[in-house]
Structure 1
Amino acid sequence: MVHQPENQQSPVSDSEDLTISNAPEPPRMGPPPPPNGGLVAWLHVLGGFMLFFNTWGILNAFGVFQTYYESGAMFERSSSDISWIGSIQSFMVLLGGVFAGPVYDRGYLRHLLILGSFMIVFGHMMLSLCTQYWEIVLAQGLCVGLGAGMLFVPCVSIIPTYFSSKLGLAVGLASSGSSVGGVIYPIVLYQLLDKVGFAWSVRIMGFLALATLLIPITIMKMRFKAPKPRSLIDWTAFKDYPYLFFTGTTFIGFMGLSILIFYISYYPQEQGLTDEALSFYMVPIFNAASCFGRILPNALSDKIGPFNVVAPCSLITGILMLCLMAAHSKGAVITIAVLVGFFSGVFIAMPPVCFFPLTQDKSKLGTRIGMGFGIIALGLLAGGPIAGAILGTVKPLDWYGLWGFGGAAATLSGILYTGLRVYRSGFALIKA
């Protein structure tokens, strides 16, 4: 009698084999992979471009408002007080994004786009009616800033769902909208001030914002909703020292960046290096160069790594700001404005890309970006008013102290970025 081994499986019939082969595959867990291209994906880059155009683009134009308010045409205040308007506006963009993050994760993208767009347009319409300092703080600082904060989250959150291998290029193209906005809005304001006055100039800016914001409202949609809405705080981040180090370094860098945004226009006019027209155009010149500084370095970061880009660019930005202390001619100021505009673009475009490799658990990426920008926002809030206090109110104004402070902050951030890059990857020239 032959015994069949116990571990030998019984034969499977043809019908059973057919049933097994035709069985549906188990559903794949997690979101589908990004398409990394195609019409829909690139349309979302266009939508992101328009969101950056009306968030950081408006913020980058504040240098023109700083110069106009310094003239005393509307009120008499110190440079530090005027800087508070732009600082509050910048602070609300990043802080508002922290609280808008969980709303976005719950699938309310369209609600954020509509409400944020309304507040930006409404804030400009209210600004056109303002005559007092505190009214401008509320309209331009709080209302426009908070509206931009609601739009900033879709800027940095939705594009990574459509791109992975080309993420740096896609974010760079979208973030270039902030530079283009920083070119268009100052020119519109300056060209219209003498023709239709401040009130209608600001109203036209509001109508321009409305027209361009209809594009993302129309075309942008979420590919998938987060399985679980992000929390406001990831407590494990406080034990992640590279993450904390990068956030603190970017905080310092943004202090220097805010000084560039606020005073690049007022400096040559107050020093008599340029006439009034050219001083207003310093902001568009700065932002036009910054446009290339947000696309090219980001595209390069896909090849060599984000920290190999952000470290040298921020260091060069700081050195160029220190060079402004020795810029005593029209040509020198314009040259430095072009160069510093290009290299400073990394401060806006690179942090979202850098947070990605610093976050091991990608499900916490949104929370960590929100936390990081909430801390970085304090640098924007403090930088301008501190610089204004250094500048003083008694002539001659302390421009050496102002550019020294801003340049030192940006240079220090470059050194610290370099240290973080070496800590993560050593001295070898590898992707970091």
Structure 2
Amino acid sequence: MAPRVDDEESQKDRPSTQSLSSQERASVENISITSSMEDAFEPKWPRSWRAYTCWLGCFFLMFNSWGLVNAYGTFSSYYVGNSLREVDQLELNLIGSTQSFLVLLFSAPVGKLLDAGHFRYVVVTGTFLVPFGLFMLSVAHPKNDALASFGSIWATQGLVVGLGMACFFVSSSQIASTWFRRSKSLAVGVVACGASIAGVVYPAMIRFLIEELGFNNAVRGVAGVAGVTCVYSLIFATPNPAHVHPKSQSYRKLSTWIDKEALANKAFCWFTAAVAFLFLGFYPVFFNLEEWAAVSGLGTRGGSSAPISASAPTTAPMQTYFMLMIMNGASTFGRLAFAFFGDYTGALNMHIVTQIVSSLLIYILWTLAGSTAAAIAFCVFFGMFSGSVIGLPPASIANILNCTYTDPSKKHLAHAKLGQWTGMMYSVAAIPALIGPLIAGHLVTEYSTYITVQIWSAVSLTLSAMCMIVARWYLPTVDGAHISTHLYRFFGKHDKADEVEKRRPTHATVESTNALNQSLSRSTTRVNSKVASRQMSEEKIASPPEPVLLGPEKNV
């Protein structure tokens, strides 16, 4: 008699029971040991060339999603002095924040579609929309110094390109993580470098092509680079064939898109709040950095400080583009270095440290920067730490999942739910990503000073760090105990620590008990009577020191 299948996802991850003996089928310990051995003997780095071509493809996916968002500051500085010189700073920030909003809003549905194996449709959609939107921007933008229509630029660069970028963002980290299970933090960190590298390449490319060919041809050049790299990703960015893609029963059900277990997980909820505060204050720094430098006299346009609102067109380029390039270049180093250490210290632990340092850099270094040297120092150090801050959320979610599903029989869920949990987290942050730069732009217009942006960003990142600390409070440490237990022991209250741990059953304890009972009750023997099978299961549970093995010789 074949074993009853209650969980299709679990059965796919387990070795086939058809070829096992009745003794092996009856032992839940064998299942757990097999699952653990698979993880133990899996190489730290894949040996297939497909893993590394996929890795580069995922890098390009990030290159053409958040990379274009990071480069928007250069577009904005051009618009201020030229085609959108009569537009308020709030509206200018709306173009970039619309891109951020769409990328994050569609993270949850995109993550679920990727979990279900529909990665090809997702990447094809983005491959069409991103180059198409950029090309249409070059058509919609007027030539020479004529005023442009804000609506047409927002529709092409903000809406169309933003929708295409939404298909790439979660795909980049989720597809790469299927190949690099044992080096997930570093692998995702390298992929995240695509955003910072694009933040160096695209601003420099736009800056020099505008001088040589004009804005419209410069945008067409960016569209060409995006098109070529998107096609490469379409061909090579494919998940590991061994990765399980659980099929959803119905896409009309809310439970298909929202995992109730995630909403019941306190660590996940607090970390989601942290990411929401992060996006509330993070991109105002990138969107307003060049204009801040120009208004402060640290970078010039035409040999003089630029006013907050330009009244006449000028062909002189903004001499502050290099600051955005420096910040994005330093971000590359930070993403790699901190992601590497994240595999050893824990991604969430590393995330907390870099978040705190980033907020302090804004409080101290940016607000007090009164010279070009101080401004460059801020760009370097903030770039390093902020690169980790914006690149580590997927790895931190993986960290939370690994601490949640610790039982071997449930461990596959830590991989299977990564896309859905990551997407849910980013979708919650969509509204803050939209309104954060808008509020910052309004503060600049209202008070005619960039100190408002600096304080807004610093406070938002501080609140984000506090939420991360609370999320970490609910997760166990390496030895399985919680932080509260270690604090009680540190102050000598060992009895209180033991009492707290006894009252707090871990996920591993609950899931191990459930898995044991379910596996034993479903053990397959050659006995036709179900009553006899239940009696044998009860006998095994009653005497754990000497488990009854249901081998062929024991069957009646």
Instruction: Report if TM-score (shorter chain) is over 0.5.
Output: yes
Deviations 1:45-100 (A, max 9, x none): 11111111111111110111121122243452111111111001111112223222
CA contact (8 A) 1:53 1:178 kept: yes
Q: 1:62 aligns with which of 72, 97, 102?
A: 72
1:132 offset after TM fit, Å?
0.8
- Aligned equivalents of 2:446, 2:277: Cα separation in 1: 25
Partner of 1:299: 340
State how 1:93-242 maps to structure 2 within 5 Å.
93-130=103-140, 131-222=148-239, 223=241, 224=243, 226-229=245-248, 231-242=256-267
Aligned counterparts of 2:337 and 2:20: Cα–Cα separation in 1 = 43
1:239-388 counterparts in 2 under 5 A? 239-276=264-301, 277-323=318-364, 324-359=366-401, 360=404, 361-362=413-414, 363-388=416-441
CA distance, structure 2, for counterparts of residue 268 and residue 62 of structure 1: 16
Contact 1:232 1:370 in 2 (8 A): no
Q: TM-score, normalised by structure 2?
A: 0.69
Shift in Å, 1:366: 2.3
Do the aligned residues in 2 keep the contact of 1:75 with 1:132 (CA within 8 Å)?
A: no
1:369 positional shift: 1.3
Aligned equivalents of 1:392 and 1:321: distance in 2?
20
Aligned AA for 1:104?
L
- Give the C-alpha shift of residue 393 in structure 1: 5.3
- Please tell me the residue identity of whatever aligns with 2:430: A
Which amino acid is the alignment partner of residue 313 of structure 1? T
Runs of 4+ in 1 over 6 A off after TM superposition: 26-30
Percent identity of paired positions between Structure 1 and Structure 2: 30
| In structure 2, distance between residues paired with 1:312 and 1:415 | 11
> CA separation of 1:102/1:304 partners in 2, compared to 1, >3 Å: closer, same or farther?
closer
Q: The residue matched to 1:129 in structure 2 has which SS?
A: helix
Read off the aligned partner of 1:319 and give its amino acid letter. L
Q: Distance in 1 between matches of 2:196 and 2:294?
A: 22
What is the alpha-carbon root mean square deviation over aligned residues? Answer: 2.3
Residue in 2 that maps onto 1:7: none
C-alpha distance in 2 between matches for 1:107 and 1:303: 30
Equivalent pair of 2:173/2:191 in contact (CA under 8 Å): no
Contact 2:98 2:159 in 1 (8 A): yes
Q: Unpaired segments of 5 or more residues in structure 1?
A: 1-22
Q: Give the aligned residue type for 2:343.
A: D
Task: Note the C-alpha offset of 1:209.
Answer: 0.5
Q: Give the SS at the match of 2:354.
A: helix
Matching residue's letter, 1:379 = P
Aligned to 2:467: 416
Tell me, yes or no, if the aligned pair for 2:275 and 2:426 is still in contact at 8 Å.
no
Q: Is the 8 A contact 1:264 1:337 kept in 2?
A: no
CA distance in 1, matches of 2:461, 2:52: 33
Q: CA deviation at 1:367?
A: 1.8
Is the Cα contact below 8 Å between 1:231 and 1:367 reproduced in 2? no
- Match of 1:402, SS? helix
The answer to whether the aligner puts 1:85 opposite 2:95 as a matched pair is: yes
| Counterpart AA for 1:85 | I
Deviations 1:398-423 (A, max 9, x none): 21111011111112222332343344
How many angstroms apart in 1 are the aligned matches of 2:244 and 2:347? 27
Q: 1:127 to 1:297 in 2, by over 3 A?
A: same
Q: 1:400 aligns with which of 451, 455, 458?
A: 451
Paired amino acid for 1:40: R
Answering whether residue 430 of structure 2 is matched by residue 389 of structure 1, we say: no
Q: Does 1:37 align with 2:46?
A: yes
State how far apart, in whole Å, the 2-side matches of 1:307 and 1:105 are.
23
Aligned AA (2:246) = P
Distance 1:376 1:191 in 2: 34
Q: Distance in 1 between matches of 2:20 and 2:237?
A: 31
8 A Cα contact 1:95 1:374, kept in partner = yes
Query: Post-superposition shift, 1:370?
Result: 1.1
Aligned length: 404
Once the two structures are superposed, the pairs formed by residues 47-58 of structure 1 within 5 Å of their partners are 47-58=57-68
Aligned-residue offset at 1:180: 0.4
**Aligned partners of 2:59, 2:257: CA distance in 1, in Å?**
26
| Contact 1:316-1:411 within 8 A present in 2 as well | no
